[in-house]
Amino acid sequence: MLIFKIFRRPEWDAFRTAGQTLGAPVDLTDGYIHLSTAQQVAETATKWFAAESDLVLVAVRAEALEADLKWEPARSGALFPHLYRPLRLADVVWDKSLPLGLSGHIFPEGVI
């Protein structure tokens, strides 16, 4: 199962350079890396990145994160994947630009 993380371009660039990340400021504050399923990622983009256009969508295999991935209730009681360790570049299956179109973010085909 693929799960997703949205990065601002500077966050993605820093992640690529370092080879791992503890996430965005909200992740650092909360103590884990916020991820989303395919069913959740569009709402995440709208809620947290509504006016941002230079974003990167990163796909990760949930199974590869093993015991460090916890499914915890968040919006509306839905279970969201939260990663309790650094996200490593080796965890990334693919990354794609997530541009902002006239009616919202334009997701890669097959994601949502």
Evaluate whether residue 110 is within a structural domain.
no
List the domain range (segments joined by +) for residue 21.
Answer: 2-105
Which residues, in sequence order, are CB contacts of 65 under 8 Å at separation 6+? 81, 83, 85, 91
What confidence tier does 112 reach under pLDDT thresholds 50, 70, 90?
Answer: confident
Quote the tokens at residue 10: 């500077």
Query: How crowded is the C-beta side of 12, counted as CA atoms within 13 Å?
Result: 17
- Specify the pTM: 0.94
- Tokens 């994601």 correspond to 111
Model pLDDT for residues 65-76, shown as the tens digit of each residue: 999 999 999 878
What's the CATH code of the domain at 92? 3.20.170.20
